[in-house]
Structure 1
């Protein structure tokens, strides 16, 4: 039995098949999506379902999409197969360490839960169920979601699926960790602890420029212009486990180089570093190996390992009588002190290499408000002192 669809663009039929001696009944709609450019013959697609009403609704949506030019032929690819393709072929512009994080999320979390689902059959409620079932920290859940969302967004752009089923998911609330910059007394204690040691100049430059550790370890002398008083931050040092894929250097975190104009004392510190490095090179003799002209190296000119520096820094923090201070906190300390010094957010954003001033304001804006309150309190004290005299 059959009838024409209301729009005349397709037909719906009731069908019965026998499998293993048992009859199964279902409804099937067939519709035309265009013509084969080679043969000129019609290209037809089918939709099946348990009820006539269900199939009719899906047929109506499909034929409307054909008329509007938005119809996409459902793919037989699974979510797992697409994730494998995406991870292998579409992450070329992503930093090696990030690629590894993405692949780990695909392997450990996404594929076990959604890998067998057809890519065209994945629905928002299925993604939400996946998100809700992850027994991870809010930050880790958000990361897994980000990976899935990006992979599906690429599938949309390639016309494998019409829309991203991961859009508009409800994600766990993530409490942002409080930024704990060093106060003046703590900064002085740290500088005293590293004075005369292997970290002295590196910590000083980090504290007064806000550069990331990987950026300082990747800094080369050709990027330091003593005449102009500028430093070009154009690259960062790659961790050893990722150098086979990307080499010794990669671009800074946001992908853009930046030129900073530090305080004169920072340039003085770098001149001292250049002097000390020259002495070290003489001592090393033929063992010296610094072909890239790195500013901070080990005793024979090789790149410093980030893990090694962080270990030295932890020891220095302990010696200074401080607790829980990370090397990255020097960056926060610089940002807060720049605000205290009166620098505008746009300038601080440029020096830190943030993608936008909005991010910088969101990250450090509360310190600005706090300083305004302190200023008002000082003014109130001054007013009271004047009127009571």
Structure 2
């Protein structure tokens, strides 16, 4: 009677998990970002429905979720690793003295010609794929858990269930790893090697601001004030199902903001704007007036994956340790901290949601300054009050009043 008064009574139903998730994904699609919705639908199609899709929604419980996570952690990978397939074919052909073309790789491995071209470029420059484990990464399973928690929470709100079993389940722990970053010398080596690349100014802007890949690809000239030395970060270009899309607004509420740029970066952007203006004059009316800061020669906006792949090739050609394009963001933050910039300022510049998360992420960098901090604080607090007489004495009690 108490549950009835609280509206917690639900009608018995044979609705399955698969039926509910299909209904739920259709209902929430207009309310969430396209990238988030695509990820959630992929999680449902690849990892949830094949294992527990036939289970009745009202019978789904905590042990079933725990078994699902354990299964995915051990043997959950279902997406074919086309990179490894193409590399195996390419390696076999090259070992025999042949040089397969991207078209041959594409046809033999049944991949798109664009993927094959990028793969051949990577393999030729020395970038080879790493063997992936059969299970999913703990981070992926945590994302699946978050998706299920949200879906089952709505199932309770829709009175399909009386409780949310995901609220009582903890996904696998994600091991803390330290991201690879470039030091100052490696950053300078990379920038010197790409000085004459078409997108040299893009890489320079990334390494002096740390903004996200989607933000740098979505940046438009009206948001850039080179005289004042500022850029306003707002628009994004994201990848949904392999296609680049425009997206208004940043990842967090701190992502949409105005940040300053240094004089060297501002000068590089002026030179790049001159190049872009000459290309616009050459193409005339065929040049699209999109306003993007970084474009191809014909004015088309950049695909974020293209920039990532270009960075991979350029960094390999420079002989530098392999990091991802996203790691340039961490390289900037690490370098700025070591240069003495306040953690709060760095956190705000790169658009972190809060400074607490930033401090947790970069604690290892701040820890490197612990010795300097100890000396600096003691020097300020103690001054000459303690003195240095007897500091080198062999007698520990030389300067103590023992009376």
**TM interval, short-chain normalised:** 0.7 to 0.9
Where do residues 93-108 of structure 1 align in structure 2 (5 Å cutoff)? 93-108=31-46
Task: After TM superposition, give the deviation of residue 165 of structure 1 in Å.
Answer: 0.7
Check conservation: 1:231, 1:259, Cα contact below 8 A: yes
Check conservation: 1:280, 1:300, Cα contact below 8 A: yes
Where do residues 281-296 of structure 1 align in structure 2 (5 Å cutoff)? 281-289=280-288, 291-296=289-294
Higher strand share: 1
Residues 374 and 199 of structure 1, relative CA distance in 2, 3 Å threshold: farther
Task: After TM superposition, give the deviation of residue 378 of structure 1 in Å.
Answer: 9.8
- Residues 344-383 of structure 1 show CA distances to partners (whole Å, capped at 9, x for unaligned) of 3332222112222222112112211112235558999xx9
Where do residues 1-389 of structure 1 align in structure 2 (5 Å cutoff)? 63-134=1-72, 135=75, 136-239=136-239, 241=241, 247-254=245-252, 257-289=256-288, 291-373=289-371, 376=374
- Residues 256-309 of structure 1 show CA distances to partners (whole Å, capped at 9, x for unaligned) of 5222122233222222221221122223334322x2211000111111222222
Residues 173 and 71 of structure 1, relative CA distance in 2, 3 Å threshold: same
Distance (whole Å) between structure 1 residues aligned to residue 29 and residue 370 of structure 2: 45
- Which region of structure 1 is more displaced relative to structure 2, 223-232 or 192-201? 223-232
Distance (whole Å) between structure 2 residues aligned to residue 165 and residue 120 of structure 1: 10
Check conservation: 1:96, 1:242, Cα contact below 8 A: no
Task: After TM superposition, give the deviation of residue 188 of structure 1 in Å.
Answer: 0.8
Check conservation: 1:72, 1:161, Cα contact below 8 A: yes
Check conservation: 2:279, 2:298, Cα contact below 8 A: yes
Check conservation: 2:210, 2:332, Cα contact below 8 A: yes
- Residues 16-56 of structure 1 show CA distances to partners (whole Å, capped at 9, x for unaligned) of xxxxxxxxxxxxxxxxxxxxxxxxxxxxxxxxxxxxxxxxx
- Which region of structure 1 is more displaced relative to structure 2, 96-105 or 249-258? 249-258
- Which region of structure 1 is more displaced relative to structure 2, 317-326 or 65-74? 65-74
TM-score if structure 1 supplies the norm length? 0.74
Aligned residues: 319
Task: After TM superposition, give the deviation of residue 334 of structure 1 in Å.
Answer: 1.1
Residues 157 and 341 of structure 1, relative CA distance in 2, 3 Å threshold: farther
Distance (whole Å) between structure 1 residues aligned to residue 197 and residue 70 of structure 2: 50
- Residues 160-180 of structure 1 show CA distances to partners (whole Å, capped at 9, x for unaligned) of 222211113132222233222
- Which region of structure 1 is more displaced relative to structure 2, 333-342 or 200-209? 333-342
Residues 281 and 126 of structure 1, relative CA distance in 2, 3 Å threshold: same
Unaligned runs of 5+ in 1: 1-62
Distance (whole Å) between structure 2 residues aligned to residue 243 and residue 316 of structure 1: 23
- Kindly report the root-mean-square deviation, in angstroms, between the aligned alpha carbons of the 2 structures: 2.7
Unaligned runs of 5+ in 2: 76-135, 379-386, 393-403
Task: After TM superposition, give the deviation of residue 212 of structure 1 in Å.
Answer: 1.5
- Residues 3-24 of structure 1 show CA distances to partners (whole Å, capped at 9, x for unaligned) of xxxxxxxxxxxxxxxxxxxxxx
Distance (whole Å) between structure 1 residues aligned to residue 6 and residue 308 of structure 2: 58
Check conservation: 1:192, 1:320, Cα contact below 8 A: no
Residues 358 and 296 of structure 1, relative CA distance in 2, 3 Å threshold: same
Distance (whole Å) between structure 1 residues aligned to residue 179 and residue 317 of structure 2: 22
